[in-house]
Amino acid sequence: MASFWDRLFGRTSERESSAQAAKRRLQFVLVHDRINLPPDIMAAMKQEILDVISKYVQVNEDSIDIALHPSDGSSLNLLVAEVPFTKSIVAPKPDIDEDDDLEEPTA
Amino acid sequence: MGGKVVTVTSGKGGVGKTTSTANLGMGLARLGKRVVMIDADIGLRNLDIVMGLENRIVYDLVDVVEGRAKVKQAMIKHKQFPDLYLIPAAQTRDKSAVSPADMVQLCNELRKEFDFIIIDSPAGIERGFRNALAPSDDILIVTNPEVSAVRDADRVIGLIEAENKGPARLILNRVKMELVRKGEMMSADDVTDILGIKLIGIVPDDEGVVSASNSGSPVVLNENSRSGQAYRDIARRLTGEDVPFMALDSGGGLLAKIGRLFGGGR
């Protein structure tokens, strides 16, 4: 946390310091180093996740990003999949049961 | 089982492993302990010159392992400390000349007569590292607060755990407090957070370390040096003594001191 004196002396923490960057980057790379998942296994997992998601939404395969992230406080690491999609393949039903129930009183 | 085998290792080279080994060996000898140091970096002999013993080598580690010399013949006695010895590395051979089993056997013999057997591991994670690790009771990892050194230290910690050794403790070497304060160097807390092991010492970057190596008289013997003090403290911790960590933030200029006074700092 930047104190008044830190700010006065230009030692603000608004920008990430190089020490913080070092720590953040190390924590990221060490998740990969420690789990030691071979690239072909990682690629197979990525493909399988993609196959499942593609059943429901249209996905651009090139923009999918699956990465391991260090834990944020808890002891577990995270597998984060960023999957930008364009539109759903399964068209949403116009009338879903719950909606019907809700709309009944006004109808 | 007698004496304790302490292995000093790092993964990455050039982080101060040999310097730390020399200082801890002398630090323990200063406390009256019987100490023998083994340079396990076969082919790249260094511990002898850092300790000022380079002119007295006759036999080396490989001569002992291959039976050409008795252990006693290869041990070089330090002039200043009569209970401090060095078994030097061979200079003309490679790491395959010694096996992990050879090291275990040698150390078991040495345990009977010494309180501490300190092994200077070579850099890397291959045979030489395995040799240094095999007989260890206690493992010290030397690293610097830099991304490459910390990453390699993590790799070595993983290998140590896989061998059911450890837990290793960390010597964070070449810490520049001025840079840590400015957020330009990782702090000891940052590094222990990342590596998940306990700290046994923080050694500040100190010009005295190089000049001490230059003269073959390790900095631990310099009563006025802060890094010497850090090594004296680590040596005491190795004997099981509970020594508080010294405050390292007394450096810096007057303005920095005033700034810390008001701002709290770290």
pLDDT by residue for chain B (266 residues), tens digit each? 699 999 999 999 999 999 999 999 999 999 999 999 999 999 999 999 999 999 999 999 999 999 999 999 999 999 999 999 999 999 988 888 999 999 999 999 999 999 999 999 999 999 999 999 999 999 999 999 999 999 999 999 999 999 999 899 999 999 999 999 999 999 999 999 999 999 999 999 998 999 999 999 999 999 999 999 999 999 999 999 999 998 765 544 455 455 555 544 44
Interface test with A, best of B156, B172, B180, B182 (most A CBs within 10 A): B182
Q: Does A60 touch chain B (CB under 8 A)?
A: no
Predicted local confidence at residue A36, as pLDDT: 80
Q: Contact B186/A22, CB-based, under 8 Å? A: yes
Residue with tokens 């092991």: B197
Closest residue in A to B146 (Cα) is A22
Which helix H or strand E contains A26, and what residues bound it? helix A18-35
Here the CATH number for the domain that contains residue B61 is 3.40.50.300
Which residues of chain A are within 8 Å of residue B255 when distances are taken between CB atoms? Answer: 9
Q: Contact A6/B263, CB-based, under 8 Å? A: yes
Closest residue in B to A29 (Cα) is B151
At A59, the pLDDT band (50, 70, 90 cuts) reads confident
User: Measured between alpha carbons, how far is A29 from A77 in angstroms, rounded to an integer?
Assistant: 12
C-beta separation of B27 from B231 below 8 A: yes
Of the listed ranges A47-51, A98-102, B176-180, the one predicted with least confidence: A98-102
Q: Contact A17/B190, CB-based, under 8 Å? A: no
Q: Where are the domains of chain A?
A: 1-36, 37-90
Helix ranges restricted to H, chain B: 17-30, 47-50, 61-65, 71-74, 100-111, 127-133, 147-162, 177-181, 188-195, 207-215, 226-238, 254-263
Predicted local confidence at residue A98, as pLDDT: 53
Predicted local confidence at residue B147, as pLDDT: 97
- B143 by Cβ neighbours in 10 Å (0-12 / 13-18 / 19+) ranks as buried
Predicted local confidence at residue B251, as pLDDT: 47
User: Measured between alpha carbons, how far is A78 from B151 in angstroms, rounded to an integer?
Assistant: 20
Q: Contact B151/A33, CB-based, under 8 Å? A: yes
User: Measured between alpha carbons, how far is A90 from A62 in angstroms, rounded to an integer?
Assistant: 22
Q: Specify the pTM.
A: 0.81
Minimal C-alpha gap between A42 and chain B (Å): 20
- Tell which residue, B126, B175, B112, has the closest CA to residue B149: B175
User: Measured between alpha carbons, how far is B11 from B252 in angstroms, rounded to an integer?
Assistant: 32
Minimal C-alpha gap between A82 and chain B (Å): 25
Domain containing B177 equals 4-263
C-beta separation of B183 from A13 below 8 A: yes
User: A2 pLDDT exceeds 50?
Assistant: no
Predicted local confidence at residue A62, as pLDDT: 82
Task: Spell out the residues 6+ positions from residue B258 whose beta carbon is closer than 8 angstroms to its own.
Answer: none
Predicted local confidence at residue A83, as pLDDT: 85
Q: Phi and psi at residue B8, in whole multiples of 5°?
A: -110, 120
Q: Does B185 touch chain A (CB under 8 A)?
A: yes
Interface test with A, best of B125, B148, B150, B257 (most A CBs within 10 A): B150
Minimal C-alpha gap between B214 and chain A (Å): 31
Nearest by CB to residue B184, choosing from A8, A18, A29, is A18
Number of structural domains in chain B = 1
Minimal C-alpha gap between A35 and chain B (Å): 11
Predicted local confidence at residue B265, as pLDDT: 42
Q: Contact B264/A3, CB-based, under 8 Å? A: yes
CB atoms within 10 A of CB A16: 12
User: Measured between alpha carbons, how far is B150 from A25 in angstroms, rounded to an integer?
Assistant: 11
Is this complex scored with an ipTM above 0.90?
Answer: no
C-beta separation of A59 from A50 below 8 A: yes
